[in-house]
Amino acid sequence: MRRTSFLSLVLAAVLCGTLWMTPAGSRELPSFVDLVAQNGPSVVNISSKQAPEMGPGPDLMVPELPQDSPLQDFFRHFFGEEGELPDDTLQSRSLGSGFILSADGDVLTNAHVVEGAEEIVVRTSDGRELLATVVGKDQRSDIALLKVAAEGLPAVRIGSSTELKVGEWVLAIGSPFGFESSATAGIVSAMGRSLPSESYVSFIQTDVAINPGNSGGPLFNLAGEVIGVNSQIYSRTGGFMGLSFAIPIDVAMDVVNQLRSKGRVSRGWLGVLIQDVTRELAEGFGMPQAVGALVAQTLPGSPAEAAHLQAGDIIVSFNGREILSSSALPPMVGTAPVGERATLQIIRGGQTLTIVVEIGELPEEDALAGSESEPPLATPANRFALAVRELTPQQREQLGLTASEGVLVERVHPGPAERSGLRAGDIILMVDHQPVADVAQFDRIIEAIPSGRSVAVLVQRDAGRMFHAIRVP
């Protein structure tokens, strides 16, 4: 009797525990049913037609056949009368996604979805196909604003990405591989993610399944607000591998508002070429931590030059916002209003300074030119295990250097310079915070460096400049 009562109590406890745990567990996993039902009609499928690229390809020869050969019709079908492609193959279609911003027909998508399009068709969830025109697009942020002739369209609710937290649930709706109105969910994996090919967008990283065709579609929070525009994935196979990236909606809407008002996008500009501060460079600059954006070059006529920023300065904050890596600086500068003053905190020569700079407007194209030519004989290899020689006046003029700037790396031997990434053809402009005017000065500088110490070496290569850390043996 006692045994039965004990088993009954254990069973009752297990059941009660299960019942108690189930509601709590279910609250941790949200339902997306209502969110999809309410916002699905605001998401559109976008197809575009482009003229195919008729670049170099394999040589396709149409054989010469007798006029009465039964194969004549076969080759005419595929190659036309004179070997040209028939008219119905002159255009290809690409698929993407987008979402409705306004009831009167504003549609947002990625710029790459409509790149080179001769015709853009927006297909709504109720089956309508509407021809769209491009109001404007911005390649740097990969945002395009389209317009369709329609009224009463269901528009999305725009949220804000500034308060988004890592771990929040998010939902994507789009047309992966052309499968319209597909919904996928996940969480925010990281914020402020920088990609190598993108300088002016700090992406939202998620683990939401995104595939080709999702580009340009919305990313929703649980409140049903758009907080991002799905744009890119990281993949080694071409398909989803757990890493997807969305443009923050605040960035996208800033672009949209500028495209609406003036048809183009203006961004803030400092006019500096920057790089990360590595552990070795931090040691060379006497910094306890590898943080900030290291200025490798200030461009002529730029706001940075006017504010007297110098190569070797390390920008550690912009308008009070800390800069942990160089990739954090361009989005901050890009969103700064043109013409306004910004406060930079920099480290120069081991001292912390404050510099005020007036933000300029980012030019459409920045081009620097380099050149090559045969200079005089090189010096023997030195402590860096490289041979350098003087630049000719013609080379200095072509490279935009003064008569007292730089030496040319002629040969790099196995050793410290090779390990740091220097190579023949580089121009050494500065060593250990000291400008290099000629070969004799270069030799004096490196001979005076204590053994075992890392020093920062400023190098010009092609159109850009970069610091390398070299440890003196």
Residues in the chain: 473
Distances (CA, A) of 453 to 170, 215, 245, 283, 284: 49, 49, 41, 8, 8
**What token pair was written down for 219?**
């990313």
Query: What is the rounded distance in angstroms from the CA atom of residue 259 to the CA atom of residue 279?
Result: 42
> What are the start-end ranges of the H helices in 285-431?
303-306, 329-334, 393-399, 416-420
Q: How many helices (H) and strands (E) does the chain have?
A: 10, 27
Query: What is the rounded distance in angstroms from the CA atom of residue 82 to the CA atom of residue 275?
Result: 55
Query: What is the rounded distance in angstroms from the CA atom of residue 269 to the CA atom of residue 330?
Result: 8
25 phi and psi angles, rounded to 5 deg: -65, -40
* Nearest in space to 237 (alpha carbons), one of 212, 216, 214: 212
CB 147 within 8 A of CB 106: yes
Q: In 3-state terms, what secondary structure has residue 48?
A: strand
Biggest CA–CA distance in the chain, Å, is: 107
Burial of 430 (0-12, 13-18, 19+ CB in 10 A): buried
Query: What is the rounded distance in angstroms from the CA atom of residue 94 to the CA atom of residue 110?
Result: 13
Q: 112, 125, 207, 235: which is the annotated catalytic residue?
A: 112
210: left (phi over 0), alpha (psi -120 to 50) or beta: beta
* Nearest in space to 455 (alpha carbons), one of 326, 278, 272, 317: 278
Q: 94, 97, 138, 142: which is the annotated catalytic residue?
A: 142
Active site residue 468: no
Active site residue 142: yes
DSSP 392: P
Q: Enumerate residues 6+ apart whose C-beta is below 8 A from 179.
A: 213
Q: 215, 244, 302, 317: which is the annotated catalytic residue?
A: 215
**First vs last Cα of the chain: how many Å apart?**
86
Active site residue 308: no
Catalytic residues: 112, 142, 215
